[in-house]
């Protein structure tokens, strides 16, 4: 029996979502240990020395970092391709993926979602309202202003769906959990692209699983995912108590 690919990381993570979207679009068989990065045990620390998610395990091979994982999946399972064939466009797709993983993530995830959701639900700490205000008024608008100049009026960035489209949409999906919505009048191209990607059946499938666990305590999320039909692993590397994670998941 073929060995399933295994992904370690929470469905709510934009980095994990990007990898799961690639697996779904390539129609690969996989299972998930839906563990947040700050809940990893010592075994997790050994395979992810930065204590970040996602981690991919493929028949004993451990691959870290979402961008590295997605490129590995593309190399090993090239069809359907999620990277442009043209060399220049492929380079630009990788740049936009990196921009999403860093600049968009800094504002949408680490300054907004982390403050409004993770600090309260996981660490029992109040959010830093100053950080949130700075994100909403300065950091996020500046990031999306640039993004708007890089996108087409409609459709996917390179005509066909690519890793760049998936990456960008993944961060806005997580930001939605923190009550952030794109101003479609100010950023119509960004809003259109994100809507186009999120309407994909693969993204809708992942969204249903995300929604079933979104408001639940961590201790109840696994059971909810199983009930919803998520392909969960039989064992987890998660712990019951949170541990600090090094800045920025990958």
Q: Is residue 145 over pLDDT 50?
A: yes
**CA-based radius of gyration for the chain:** 17
- 242 burial via Cβ count (<10 Å: 0-12, 13-18, 19+): middle
Percentage of residues of the chain with pLDDT beyond 90: 80
What is the value of pTM for the model shown? 0.93
Residue 234 contacts by C-beta under 8 Å, 6 or more apart in sequence?
A: none
Q: Are 220 and 22 a contacting pair, CB within 8 Å?
A: no
Q: Which two tokens stand for residue 122?
A: 């996981």
pLDDT for 176: 96
Distance CA 32, CA 5 (A): 9
Architecture of domain 87-198: Up-down Bundle (1.20)
Domain layout of the chain by residue ranges: 87-198
pLDDT in tens, 216-231: 888 899 999 999 999 9
Q: What is the mean pLDDT of the chain?
A: 92
CA distances from 12 to 2, 35, 152, 207 (A): 28, 10, 27, 9
Distance CA 74, CA 71 (A): 5
Residue 59, Ramachandran bin (φ over 0: left; ψ between -120 and 50: alpha; else beta): left
């Amino acid at each position: 029996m073929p060995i399933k690919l295994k992904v370690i990381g929470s469905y709510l993570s934009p980095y994990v979502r990007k990898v799961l979207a690639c697996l779904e679009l390539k129609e690969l068989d996989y299972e998930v240990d839906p563990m947040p990065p700050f809940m990893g045990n010592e075994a997790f620390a050994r395979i992810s020395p930065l204590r970040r998610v996602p981690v991919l395990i493929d028949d004993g091979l451990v691959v870290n970092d979402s961008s590295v994982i997605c490129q590995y999946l593309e190399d090993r399972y090239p069809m359907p391709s999620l990277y442009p064939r043209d060399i220049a466009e492929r380079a630009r797709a990788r740049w936009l993926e990196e921009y999403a993983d860093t600049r968009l993530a800094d504002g949408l995830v680490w300054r907004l979602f982390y403050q409004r959701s993770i600090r309260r639900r996981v660490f029992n700490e109040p959010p830093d309202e100053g950080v949130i205000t700075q994100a909403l008024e300065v950091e996020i608008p500046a990031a999306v202003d640039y993004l708007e100049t890089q996108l087409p009026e409609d459709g996917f960035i390179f005509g066909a769906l690519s890793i760049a489209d998936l990456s960008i949409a993944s961060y806005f999906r997580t930001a939605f959990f923190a009550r952030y919505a794109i101003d479609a009048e100010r950023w119509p191209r960004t809003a259109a692209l994100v809507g186009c990607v999120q309407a994909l059946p693969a993204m809708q499938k992942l969204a249903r699983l995300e929604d079933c666990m979104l408001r639940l305590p961590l201790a109840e999320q696994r059971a909810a995912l199983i009930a919803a039909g998520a392909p969960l692993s039989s064992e987890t590397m998660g712990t019951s108590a949170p541990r600090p994670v090094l800045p920025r998941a990958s």
